Amino acid sequence: MTERRTLQTEQISGHPGPVPGMGMQRNLEVCKLIDATTCIGCKACEVACVEWNDLPFQPTTFDNTYQTMPETNWNYWNLIKFREHQREDGTLMWLMRKDQCMHCADPGCLAACPADGAIVKYANGIVDFHQENCIGCEFCVSGCPFNIPKFNPATKKVYKCTLCSDRVGQGLEPACIKACPTGCLHFGTKEDMKMLAETRAKQLRDVSGFKDAGVYDPESIGGTHVIYVLHDAKNPELYSGLPKDPSIPFAYKAWKSIFKPLGLIGATLGFVGVVFHYVFEGPKREQPEVPPPKPEPPAGRKEL
């Protein structure tokens, strides 16, 4: 029952007017919970993602860490980022963070996208790219605070994690969730996942001694539909550069929505100006004018 309403389209890039069929059903948001504290970096999710989405093989880069490649790719949407962190007492910690699209409530990619229907946000919170409408401008890449959309130069289209919208639409969990052997990945409604995450964070604080443990669900972009439990929620940057206060560039917010239309009106004033000049002042003709003026030198015309 919920599966059918989850794929109701909620926002469409570059699309004029309201979204067809909006507001007809109860809104139920989905969420993926990643408990970074129990991830062992096995990469089962990476393989499951490549398999389910039928992505072509991407050569790996070995750099003496437990990371498959430097960053996600157009054909590698899910990557466990690895970082060795030295704590104040000198002991080491391996921080594993499953990096993929965060499915923001206020998606920067969608705000930046100029193509009608290339990026949609479903009412269930999933942000999806529709490559058939993508024009390959890559503005989404610069609009994303998490460096997620990746360009394929061969197809001139941009790709990223879909949160397995095809599976979710059929009432299944995303492939990565299904593959996870430790149970560090969970999938459900945003409400449930938030509660589970807070419970786990409290456990980490109260029982495991991580006094800064907490949930990553950044307010600055209205929250995300992928949330993390972190040992140290005060320093998300430690986890291979998870931004503390992710934000969308001014260019794709106020500039695009307010100043661009105003600027266009301003430029059009040039056209209005010349039309009015012609109507009110008329053309400047070569002198003396044809037909020749009356025998007396013309009056009313001043010469410099």
Q: How far is the CB of 237 from another protein (least distance, A)?
A: 16
| SS3 (DSSP) at 259 | helix
Q: Which residues face 163 on adjacent strands?
A: none
The residue range among 51-59, 164-172, 232-240, 280-288 that interacts with another protein, by the rule CB under 8 A, is: 280-288
CB-CB contact of 31 with 228 (8 Å) = no
Give residue 69's identity as a one-letter amino acid code: M
Q: Does 303 bind another protein (CB under 8 A)?
A: yes
Q: What is the DSSP letter of 99?
A: E
Q: Looking at beta carbons only, is 93 or 264 nearer to another protein?
A: 264
The residue range among 60-68, 150-158, 184-192, 234-242 that interacts with another protein, by the rule CB under 8 A, is: 150-158
Which x/- pattern over 90-109 shows residues binding another protein (rule: CB under 8 A)?
A: --------------------
Residues 6 or more apart whose CB falls under 8 angstroms from that of 193 comprise 31, 32, 33, 186, 187, 227
Q: Given candidates 78, 100, 133, 165, which one binds another protein under the rule CB under 8 A?
A: 133
Q: Given candidates 52, 122, 139, 187, which one binds another protein under the rule CB under 8 A?
A: 139
CB-CB contact of 167 with 7 (8 Å) = no
The residue range among 34-42, 51-59, 128-136, 227-235 that interacts with another protein, by the rule CB under 8 A, is: 128-136
Phi, psi of 147 (to 5 degrees): 55, 55
The rounded distance, in Å, linking the Cα atoms of 299 and 244 is: 74
Q: 298 to each of 2, 22, 135, 284, 286, how far by Cα in Å?
A: 84, 69, 61, 15, 14
The residue range among 131-139, 180-188, 212-220, 226-234 that interacts with another protein, by the rule CB under 8 A, is: 131-139
Q: Looking at beta carbons only, is 1 or 262 nearer to another protein?
A: 262
The rounded distance, in Å, linking the Cα atoms of 99 and 102 is: 8
Q: How many CA atoms lie within 13 A of 179 on its CB side?
A: 16
Task: Please spell the DSSP secondary structure of 228-252, one letter per residue.
Answer: EEES-TT-GGGTTS--SS----GGG
Q: How far is the CB of 59 from another protein (least distance, A)?
A: 18
Q: Given candidates 9, 142, 220, 240, which one binds another protein under the rule CB under 8 A?
A: 142
Backbone dihedral region for residue 103 (phi beyond 0: left; psi -120 to 50: alpha; all else: beta)? left
CB-CB contact of 253 with 237 (8 Å) = no
Q: Does 302 bind another protein (CB under 8 A)?
A: yes
Q: Does 20 bind another protein (CB under 8 A)?
A: no
The residue range among 30-38, 84-92, 96-104, 145-153 that interacts with another protein, by the rule CB under 8 A, is: 145-153
Q: Given candidates 79, 134, 215, 221, which one binds another protein under the rule CB under 8 A?
A: 134
Residue 145: which H helix or E strand, with range? none
Of residues 220 through 279, those in contact with another protein by CB under 8 A are 249-252, 255, 260-261, 263-264, 266-267, 269-271, 273-274, 277-278
Binding site for another protein (CB under 8 A): 14, 16, 114-116, 133-139, 141-144, 147, 150-151, 156, 249-252, 255, 260-261, 263-264, 266-267, 269-271, 273-274, 277-278, 281-288, 292, 295, 297, 300-304
